[in-house]
Amino acid sequence: MLPTPDTAHVSFDTVYEPSEDSYLFLDTLSSPSESAWLSHRFSPSTSTAPPLIVEVGTGSGVVLGFVAANAQQIFGRRDILALGTDVNRHACAATQETAQRAIRDRQCTPTTDNDSSGGDGSAKSTFLAPVMADLGTPLRQGSVDVLLFNPPYVPTEELPQIPTATTEQAMAGMSRSERFDHESYLLSLTYAGGKDGMETTDRLLDAIPGLLDPGRGVAYVLLCRQNRPDEVRDRIVAWGGGWQAESVGSSGKQAGWEKLIILRIWREVEP
């Protein structure tokens, strides 16, 4: 099993603590079947251009850090570019730290287990930046090769307002109780998904065809049972143009109400 990135430096007052859903992401992407699929799709013999991996809503950065640090095992190449977005500045800072540490731990030590390309002189994963943003809104169209999203998926009566450019300035001069409310608000953004838990995920799904690289782009989106994953999959296939969606990982087999799946979304392009 590949090591989970260290997140001991992260304060979880306003940042989502790695949980079952995060770990499902790690297990799914590093599973033999999914790694084989990704390594084939991003084989350097098809294109030497390093893939851009983007995680939207990184939280602690545990998923993006894991993928970047273990790129050799997951993508069959280490020369990937990693970028994360989150609406919360604390999460952005945490992600940068987590990803850089994970890459350093896995790729800059002389002997890394299972890492055949280890040693100096070979390419390393590059962490580009943490970006404060609403989903992928500032990303250039068609630039993302792998998009990862562990959304706020819990059904809630209301959807918290998306933070704006001035939200973080408001924190200065807050009383203790106002600060507590603000931290609860930031935390609510990590799980509250509005109607069917799908309001934020729906906005991301709408953006996927525009964001992904038209040739090799692929997205992984986590859903819970209340999100009606079968309907989501059918909807994506109905986009036409070769769009596919398939469940490639699941957890919660103990019949808990929060059964989770990870949907892989990609386009099968006619040769």
Residues that bind other proteins (CB under 8 A): 48-50, 52, 79, 81, 83, 85, 87, 89, 92-93, 96, 120-121, 123-124, 126-134, 137-141, 143, 154-168, 181, 184-185, 188, 191-192, 203
| Torsion, Cα of 226, 63, 211, 231 (10° steps) | -20
SS (H, E, C) 173-220: CCCHHHHHHHHHHHHHHHHECCHHHCHHHHHHHHHHHHHECCCCCEEE
Minimal distance in Å, beta carbon 134 to other proteins? 6
Q: How far is the CB of 122 from other proteins (least distance, A)?
A: 8
Query: Smallest distance, Å, CB 195 to other proteins?
Result: 12
State in angstroms the smallest separation of the CB of 160 from other proteins.
Answer: 5
Given the complex with other proteins, which of 154 and 237 has the nearer CB atom? Answer: 154
Q: Which is nearer to other proteins, 33 or 164 (CB)?
A: 164
- Please say which residue, 50 or 249, places its beta carbon nearer to other proteins: 50
Check residue 133 and report its DSSP letter: -
* 46 contacts: CB under 8 Å, gap ≥ 6: 216
Between 92 and 262, CB nearer to other proteins: 92
Query: Would you say 77 and 84 are in contact if contact means Cβ atoms under 8 Å apart?
Result: no
250: nearest Cα among 56, 25, 59, 61: 25
Please state the closest distance from residue 198 (CB atom) to other proteins, in A: 15
> In this structure, what token pair is assigned to residue 170?
């408001």
Nearest residue (CB) to other proteins, 116 versus 166: 166
Residues written for the chain:
271
Residue 154 β-bridge partners: 192
**Contact (Cβ atoms closer than 8 angstroms) between residue 5 and residue 98:** yes
- Burial status of residue 255 (CB atoms within 10 A of its CB: 0-12, 13-18, 19 or more): exposed
> What is the nearest approach in angstroms of other proteins to the Cβ of residue 225?
15
Cβ-based nearer residue to other proteins, 11 or 164: 164
